[in-house]
Amino acid sequence: MTTDNTNTPTPEGTPDAAALAAAAAAAKPPVTTPEPKADPLPIEADKDKDGKGFTYEATGDSKLDMTLAFVGKHGFGPGHPAMVAAVNGDFSLLKAQLAEKGVAGADAYIALGEAAYATMHAENEKRRAEDKAAVESIVGGAENWEAIKDWAGKNADEGEKTAISALLSKGGIEAKIAATFLAANFSKANGGTELPAKETDGAGPSAAATAGRSSASTDALSPKEYGQAVVDARRVHSNRAGPFEQSPAYVKLVERRSRWRE
């Protein structure tokens, strides 16, 4: 049932239905790159045969492995509250409980664990910064990226946002592919609004510059053409530094493939 409220005044300062709907649409969260509050240490353990201690699997970090062997021997398993906190970078509970037990050498072993966590966290921060710079480079800068994320948040469905955010959070080539896909669709939705060009080793025109044109005129790639183009581009890239999947040429080919329409 519908009601005609055309002539019904609204109290001063009270938004009408259209204004409320517009506000609700604008309030939809943007596509985001999930950032963890901490960088959890990768640990797994099994209870010792006597049931008193835990044996942790090797992590590949000698400092962390020594710390885990030490705390495991003294009964601290992965589910212990002190270990849950330590895995996320807070070693204070573990220090306090080992001190209460009077365990000799605890401070030195905990210091090794803290150093291992600090190294891992620094490496992850560096990776995230590199991923952020790479994504912003693809779309033409931080301002463009914020506009694209805001647009995607208001227009993508929840499943699409979840999938795209997951790709962005992985970083590396997955983040680049997600950014390229979003930039291409943002451009099409906005009538081919031009985004600043990015060097792509001759892999084809930008999606922004070709929005609204047919596959033939946009230099889009069919599945078969894409496969051959990747082979050719990989051959050209073989004498260059860095992984092919992170090269501008490969990212551009993925963009051209995304523009194909049967």
pLDDT of the residue at 107: 94
DSSP label at 197? P
For residue range 169-186, what is the model confidence (pLDDT) as tens digits?
888 888 888 888 888 888
pLDDT of the residue at 38: 60
In this prediction, residue 31 has a pLDDT band, given cuts at 50, 70 and 90, of low
Q: How far is 56 from 53, CA to CA, in rounded Å?
A: 10
pLDDT of the residue at 30: 53
Report which residue type is found at 12. E
With 0-12 CB in 10 A as exposed, 13-18 as middle and 19+ as buried, what is 75?
middle
With 0-12 CB in 10 A as exposed, 13-18 as middle and 19+ as buried, what is 78?
middle
Q: How far is 57 from 65, CA to CA, in rounded Å?
A: 8
In this prediction, residue 187 has a pLDDT band, given cuts at 50, 70 and 90, of confident
Closest to 109 measured CA to CA, from 121, 100, 123, 98 = 98
Tokens of 5: 């409220």
Helix (H), strand (E) counts: the chain? 12, 2
Q: Which of these ranges, 54-63, 113-122, 234-243, has the smallest mean pLDDT?
A: 234-243
Instruction: For 141-163, give one letter per residue: b (16+ CB within 10 A) or e.
Output: eeebbebbbbbbbeebeeeebee
Tokens of 58: 């090797």
- Mean pLDDT, the chain, integer: 74
pLDDT of the residue at 199: 36
Instruction: For 240-252, give one letter per residue: b (16+ CB within 10 A) or e.
Output: eeeebbebbbbbb
Q: How far is 195 from 204, CA to CA, in rounded Å?
A: 15
Counting every residue, how long is the chain? Answer: 262
Residue with structure tokens 């694209």?
A: 148
Tokens of 86: 């330590």
Q: How far is 97 from 186, CA to CA, in rounded Å?
A: 54
For residue range 57-113, what is the model confidence (pLDDT) as tens digits?
888 899 999 999 999 999 998 889 999 999 889 999 999 999 999 999 999 999 999
* For range 239-246, the mean pLDDT: 72
pLDDT of the residue at 32: 56
Q: How far apart are the first and last CA of the chain?
A: 42
pLDDT of the residue at 12: 41
> Whole-prediction pTM value?
0.53
